[in-house]
Amino acid sequence: MPLKIGTRGSALALAQADRVISLLEDAGVESKRVIITTHGDTVTGVPLHEIGGQGVFVRALDDAILEGRIDAAVHSMKDIPAKRPRGLVTCAVLPRDSPADFLVHAQQFQKIRSIGTSSTRRKAQLLMHHPDWRIEPLRGNVDTRLRKLREGAYDGVVLAEAGLQRLGLCVKGTRLAPEMYIPSPNQGTIAVVGREGDDAALLAHLLDHPETRRDVTFERVVMEEVGGGCFTPQGVYCRAGHIRAEILSLDGCRRVRREGYLSSADDAREFGQLLRRDASGLIQEAYMRLGLKE
């Protein structure tokens, strides 16, 4: 009986699932993909924070695992919310791809005036460095965003560089260095979620990359301590234990940034608590301006 690997139906999600299936086949484990439609895929006309944040891409796949319709699900790890249903585990974390954002644009950088993105983090970071730019809402899969760029709706759109690479797309634009534009926690990482038990242990044994798991776990601990999900503009990036993190105001005019080295989850927890303390005013302000309760 092949393992049933769940995935969303976008081109990027399918490419990620196919990578996992290929790795399993290389290890002699038969598997097949099962496409699950999520709430985040069907509601695309509004910002993420208005329809439930990160979890909108994950809940339907979680339910499918718990109900036994699939054995595991493949996710962009940055989409997985901090609070997880009982009985589910992140059984495997693949080696990290590029964590960076990529600004896709065909015209000269100096002539850019309008950017499409619905990420509060990306908007704040771009406005911090380019306050004269106009940042306009844009959601949808990679194909949709690139199509709207070609149609002239924006001068540029921001995508995860890893997503472009996984799809084999070569586009003109500018890589936004993660040291300057700190990415979302876990960006560039593929994770496999499953039920606790034998299948999860098998997937962990075959697929898990300990170094990547360590770094993204530190990022996730910091994210959990800071709170805010996709509502508060925040970037957290750890590489080989060296971490950079920042919280920004929604308009990009103010920023709190910390940097350091972590060797344990306790270090990450303390780091996150200090960041939250220093940026508490920005976090509260973001919730108030977005009409949300912390």
Q: Which of 236, 239, 193, 192 is nearest to 212 (CA)?
A: 239
Whether 101 sits among the annotated catalytic residues: the reply is: no
Q: Are 21 and 32 in contact (CB under 8 A)?
A: yes
Backbone angles phi and psi of 135, in degrees to 5: -105, 120
Q: Tell me the HSE value of 145 on the side-chain side, using a 13 A CA sphere.
A: 27
C-alpha dihedral (228, 229, 234, 239), degrees to nearest 10: 130
d(CA 79, CA 82): 10
Q: Which of 202, 194, 198, 191 is nearest to 69 (CA)?
A: 194
Sign of CA dihedral 123, 129, 135, 139: negative
d(CA 245, CA 97): 19
Helix (H) or strand (E) holding 245: strand 242-248
Backbone angles phi and psi of 63, in degrees to 5: -60, -40
Q: Which of 79, 97, 155, 215 is catalytic?
A: 79
Please identify every residue annotated as catalytic: 79
